[in-house]
Amino acid sequence: MRLAHSSFQRLLLLISALFLLLFIASACEQKVVVIGIAEPDQSASTLSLRDGFLEVLKEGGYKAGENLRVQRRDSTFRKQSQQQSVTELIDQEHSELVFVMGQDGLAAALAAKAAVPVVFAGCQPCAHTTHPANVTGAAMAAENSDLHANGRQAGALALRIIKGEKPSAVPVVVTP
């Protein structure tokens, strides 16, 4: 009788340990964030904005291939409009956040009327004085603003949204 009780205790202990391991494994599993990037072209300006944006996400703990999936759409390479690129990133790629660049990218995001958060960079602040609650970004004070810094500012805004802030609570910033 004592042997059966001891075996039952070991079995119970083993099952408990298994459930604990499963609980720890599921708690450690990190959600993969899907970000869409609508690129107008592959110019040095676009690359500078994108690199600054992605640098901040990496510094914030989001690494491509681990907990970040980046879906890029280059409008000139695909011979499609910015509007098509933005729509594709939202509808087909199920992006949780879309990063757009330049006046045309922002106009395309505004026209898409999606609920997905949109972060913009590389455009003047006066171009769009009003925007929906899901849109924020880093505007440039002048055409010769530092694009890399502008992309980094946009990345910082995106990081706040990824971590749970509502886009409407993340104000538009201006790069000097």
Q: Could you give the number of structural domains in the chain?
A: 2
The CA-atom distances, in angstroms, between 130 and each of 3, 30, 107, 137 are 76, 35, 12, 12
Q: Are residues 20 and 96 in the same domain?
A: no
Q: Are residues 4 and 47 in the same domain?
A: no
Q: Are residues 156 and 107 in the same domain?
A: yes
Q: Are residues 106 and 87 in the same domain?
A: yes
Q: Are residues 73 and 15 in the same domain?
A: no
As a whole number, mean pLDDT of residues 47-55 equals 96
Q: What is the pTM of this model?
A: 0.79
- What is the C-alpha separation between 84 and 82, in angstroms, rounded? 5
Q: Are residues 49 and 21 in the same domain?
A: no
Neighbours of 171 (CB within 10 A): 10
The domain of 17 spans 1-30
Q: Are residues 13 and 46 in the same domain?
A: no
Which CATH number characterizes residue 54's domain?
3.40.50.2300
At 108-158, the pLDDT tens digits run 888 887 789 999 999 876 544 566 788 899 988 887 789 999 999 999 999
Q: Are residues 11 and 58 in the same domain?
A: no
Q: Are residues 21 and 41 in the same domain?
A: no
Q: Is the dihedral of CA 153, 155, 159, 161 positive or negative?
A: positive
Q: Please give the pLDDT value at position 127.
A: 47
Q: Are residues 60 and 10 in the same domain?
A: no
- What is the C-alpha separation between 78 and 136, in angstroms, rounded? 26
Q: Are residues 5 and 84 in the same domain?
A: no
Least confident of 8-22, 51-65, 76-90: 8-22
Q: Are residues 75 and 133 in the same domain?
A: yes
Region of 138 on the Ramachandran plot (φ > 0 left; ψ -120 to 50 alpha; else beta): beta
Q: pLDDT band for position 24 (50/70/90)? A: low
